[in-house]
Amino acid sequence: MQMTELIICTTCRTADTPRDQRAAGDILLEAVQAAHAFGDQPEWAQVKVRAMACLSGCSRSCTAAYQAAGKHSYLFGDLAPTDEVARQLLDCAVLHHQTADGNLPRDKRPAALVPGMIARLPPML
């Protein structure tokens, strides 16, 4: 089974955040990487974490995406750069990995991801 990639936008920042301040997306990436490396959830090993300079969700920062071959891809926004959101992103990535088609029903997603869905793309044919 293909690993699910959790992709975090490193340039995401709110409109009122000056360019000379660290981007919230970069802070979120750091929290996800720390949880992934040092967390106590063995199933998180099924997830590959990747940084990307821009996911084009600028008006909905912070953004994160899930993708895997043969599965639906998702883009989420309006995420807080916190340790709790980082853990929820990893938990949802495990759910994505464990489903045959990558479908993430609203009632199965962690709370931080329920209101922030930007897009769901079907698997490639």
The model carries a pTM of 0.94
Domains and CATH numbers, the chain: 4-121 (3.40.30.10)
- Over residues 37-52, the pLDDT tens digits come to 998 899 999 999 999 9
- Which helix (H) or strand (E) covers residue 112, if one does? none
Return phi, psi of residue 108, to 5°.
-100, -15
Across 74-89, average pLDDT = 96
| Confidence label for 1 from pLDDT (cuts 50, 70 and 90) | low
| Confidence label for 93 from pLDDT (cuts 50, 70 and 90) | very high
* Mean pLDDT over each residue of the chain, to the nearest integer: 94
Q: How many CA atoms lie within 13 A of 77 on its CB side?
A: 15
